Amino acid sequence: MAIHPIEFRYGTPEMKNIWESENKLQRMLDVESALAQAEGELGIIPQEVADEIASKANTNYVKLERVNEIEAQTKHDIGALVKGLGEVCENDAGEYVHFGATSNDVVDSSNSLLIRDSIEVLKEKIIRLTKLLLKLAEENKAKVAIGRTHGQHALPTTYGMKFGIWADELHRQYDRLLHAEKNVCVAMMDGAVGTTAALGEDGWKIHKKVAEILGLPAATITNQVVQRDNHVEFIMVLANIASTLDKIGLEIRSLQRTEIMEVGEYFDPEKQMGSSTMPHKMNPITAERICGVARIIKSYVNAALDNNPLWHERDLTNSSCERIMFPESCILTDYILNLTIKLMSNLVFYDENIERNLNLTNGLIMAERLMAELTRKGMGKQTAYGIVRKNAIKANKEKLLLSDLILQDEEVSKFLTEADVEEIMDPHTYIGSSQIIIDELIEKSKEWFNE
């Protein structure tokens, strides 16, 4: 019976398949196979034995049910894996399975393979979302909207700027993921305290050969584990990605509020329900789910940090945590990336509301421009600031047009004509270099994903 929402509600098939039990078993068998092959090449075990172990190190022979049955008796997962593999090997080859290794050689190296596969899925999703945001930025670089600071109307901006900022941030997250991949996806075969003592004088060669066979860099130095600062970096990057998606979801939720309603999620009126009791509701459920799941991903950062300081050469406190943290953080990050792609692919614009909100404050948002133009015409900046501020406060309090009050101000009339004020008060012409910024961003982005 399904219990965890990941089993039936959250996650994509491609990421779940990486972390499902049989694939995890296969990745551990891949490590055992690489160890046997390396030992065979260096003459540590007979080549025919290495070949037999390698040929049987897959789930066509080693069944998950059998490994679980053995573990129920031995209370040791890698011990059960070794016995399960040994059972299916012929001609006593099973006697040589796992020779010279310790359990965590298999655990950490197989986790590196799983994380590497997960990162490939995440990279593809990040690229898709980034390109989608870039497309939206280019399409909406001239769509003028009110910018808000502290939740208050500030100055005109464009929707192109919003989307461009998110695209640029996601590209940085992509770069961080590449850096984390380099550090966390490494192989090890170093034995109980990292010295490779059980493998004799060829131990360090075995360590490097196993990594080569697995297609991973060899860890530079370990004790009994790949040092967990590497895994901290990876989990922190996932949390950082989640924070970006949280930011996007939060902004869409805010902009979809009834009083604002500038953009919103697509809602299927024929099939979708917003509330079990309020027939009129059309809620931003996708964006809300992104924000909610992001909290879980971000919460793993503290757990990852606590996994780094272990007793002496190693204890087991990181293990149980990571059995949960690695699959969940990867599955959930991939899931909300998928949701954000869906959200942004079906975004609905309410242009009449964008224009309404732009003019909601009766011209107050153009106060900065008035001050700047008065200064350019020769009025002192501080004097201009004081005059515009005085009129803006009155306009706000009495619900008057700022332009009307400005035109009545004798000091202002010495510097600005009625035509000047009319031009100044048009918010559509006060977007600075925003279109140039987006054009340069689009041009620069052509080089982003050339790994």
Catalytic residue, candidates 275, 299, 345, 413: 275
Catalytic, 150? Answer: yes
pLDDT tens digits, residue range 269-278?
Answer: 778 777 766 7
This prediction's pTM: 0.95
| Residue located via tokens 């003592």 | 197
364-424: in CATH 3.30.2130.30: no
- Sign of the torsion formed by the C-alpha atoms of 43, 49, 51 and 56: negative
DSSP state of 219: P
Q: Rounded distance, CA 209 to CA 203, Å?
A: 10
The predicted structure's pLDDT at residue 296: 97
* Tens digits of residue pLDDT in 76-86: 999 999 999 99
Identify residue 336 by its one-letter amino acid code. Answer: I
CB burial readout 14-23, b (16+ within 10 A) else e: ebbebbeeeb
Whether the predicted pLDDT of 257 surpasses 70 = yes
Topology agreement, domain 12-96 and domain 104-141+155-197+216-264+281-357: no
pLDDT score recorded for residue 86: 97
Which residues share a beta bridge with 264?
Answer: 348
CA 420 to chain centre: 48
Which one-letter DSSP state was computed for residue 202?
G
CATH class of 12-96: mainly alpha
Mean pLDDT of the chain: 95
Q: How far apart are CA 153 and CA 63, in angstroms?
A: 63
| Contact (Cβ atoms closer than 8 angstroms) between residue 343 and residue 287 | yes
List the one residue out of 365, 351, 159 whose CA is nearest residue 248: 159
Instruction: Report in angstroms the alpha-carbon separations of 251 from 208, 241, 298, 355.
Output: 48, 16, 18, 18
User: Pick the catalytic residue: 150, 280, 312, 320?
Assistant: 150
User: Tens digit of pLDDT for each residue in 13-43?
Assistant: 999 999 999 999 999 999 999 999 999 999 9
More confident residue, 442 or 1: 442
User: How many CB atoms are closer than 10 A to CB 386?
Assistant: 13
In the chain, % of residues over pLDDT 90: 92
Tokens of 40: 């065979």
Reply yes or no on whether the pLDDT at 57 is more than 80. Answer: yes
- Side-chain-side CA neighbours of residue 243 (13 Å): 13
Query: What does the domain layout of the chain look like in residue ranges?
Result: 12-96, 104-141+155-197+216-264+281-357, 364-424
Radius of gyration for the alpha carbons in the chain, expressed in angstroms and rounded:
30
Mean pLDDT value across residues 126-137: 98
Helices 47-56 and 77-88: crossing angle in degrees, nearest 10, is 110
- By the 10 Å C-beta count (0-12 exposed, 13-18 middle, 19+ buried), 282 is classed as middle
Are the C-beta atoms of residues 297 and 238 closer than 8 Å to each other?
yes
Inter-residue contact 430 to 369 (CB < 8 Å): yes
pLDDT beyond 90 at 205: yes
CATH fold, domain 104-141+155-197+216-264+281-357, is Fumarase C; Chain A, domain 2 (1.20.200)
Asked if residue 325 has pLDDT above 70, the reply is yes
Please give the Cα distance from 48 to 155 (Å, whole number).
Answer: 75
Is 275 marked active-site? yes
Evaluate whether 133 touches 344 at the Cβ level (below 8 Å): yes
Question: What percent of the chain clears pLDDT 70, i.e. is strictly above it?
Answer: 99
pLDDT at 451: 58
| Exposure b/e, 242-273, CB count within 10 A at least 16 = b | bebbbbbbbbbbebbeeebbbbbbebeeeeee
Tokens of 425: 């008060």
Residue 48 in this model has a pLDDT that exceeds 90 = yes
